[in-house]
Structure 1
Amino acid sequence: MTTPEVPPPGLSWVTADRAAALWTVRRKYVPQVASAHGVGTKEQKSYGTLGETTITMYSYAEVQRVVAALESGEVVLAPSWRADTEEGVRGARRDALTACGCVVLMLAVVIAVALLSS
């Protein structure tokens, strides 16, 4: 078993991407894993030229607790949720293809509307 990662000074919250990397899960399942294992969250707002963005942050200490539970086998995640299983890789590929399909469909609709309005 590896020793828990020591957070840099002042780091008490991590992003979903960091939690996904520590848990070796697909990014889309981070909220479910966090909720199922009592990981504390907070909303962080940032403001830019396109308006307000809200990001969910996860308690670093509680993320590390789940890492330890995963390593010890106390917590077992569905293979399709994991980033290091064949099922998880297939699911990530399917999600990427679905997103590409949606983009192509939106472009087709825009082109059709443009052609029909001419």
Structure 2
Amino acid sequence: MTTPDVPPSGFSWVQADRAAALWTVRRKYVPQVASAHGVATQERKGYGTLGTNTCTVYSHAEVQRLAAALESGEVVLDPSWRADTEEGVRGARRDALTTCCCVVLLLAAVIAIAVLSS
């Protein structure tokens, strides 16, 4: 078992990337894992030049609790959600391929519109 990851003082919330790393799950499944296992969340708003954005943060203590439960085998997740299983790696590749195809189709549409309008 690894030693618990102790947050710096005043640091009680982690972002989804950190939770995904501790749970060894694919980033897109962090909200489902957190919801299914009672991890407290909080919405944080950020203000910038382009407007307001919102991100979800997760309770560090509860992320650690779930990480320990996953490591001990007390909690088992769907293999396709995990980042360290064959099913999860296949799913990540499929998601990346889908994203690439969408970008290519979008570019083809933009080029077609440009050619047809001239």
Q: TM-score range by the shorter chain?
A: over 0.9
Structure 1 distance, partners of 2:26, 2:3, is 23
What is the TM-score normalised by the length of structure 1? 0.96
Structure 2 distance, partners of 1:45, 1:115, is 41
SS of residue paired to 2:93 = helix
Q: Which residue of 2 aligns with 1:54?
A: 54
Residue 87 of structure 1: CA displacement?
Answer: 1.1
Q: Residue 34 in 1 paired to residue 34 in 2?
A: yes
Q: Which runs of 5+ in 2 are unaligned?
A: none
Structure 1 distance, partners of 2:49, 2:95, is 29
Deviations 1:44-64 (Å, cap 9, x if unpaired)? Answer: 111222221111000001101
* CA RMSD, Structure 1 to Structure 2 (Å): 0.9
Q: Which residue of 1 aligns with 2:76?
A: 76
Q: Which runs of 5+ in 1 are unaligned?
A: none
What is the TM-score normalised by the length of structure 2? 0.96
Q: Which residue of 2 aligns with 1:92?
A: 92
Q: Which residue of 2 aligns with 1:107?
A: 107
In the comparison of the two structures, how many residue pairs are matched? 118
| Amino acid corresponding to residue 23 of structure 1 in structure 2 | W
Residue 2 of structure 1: CA displacement?
Answer: 2.2
Q: Residue 14 in 1 paired to residue 14 in 2?
A: yes
> Hey, which bits of structure 1, 4+ residues long, moved more than 2 A?
none
Deviations 1:9-34 (Å, cap 9, x if unpaired)? Answer: 11100000000000000000000000
Structure 2 distance, partners of 1:50, 1:110, is 24
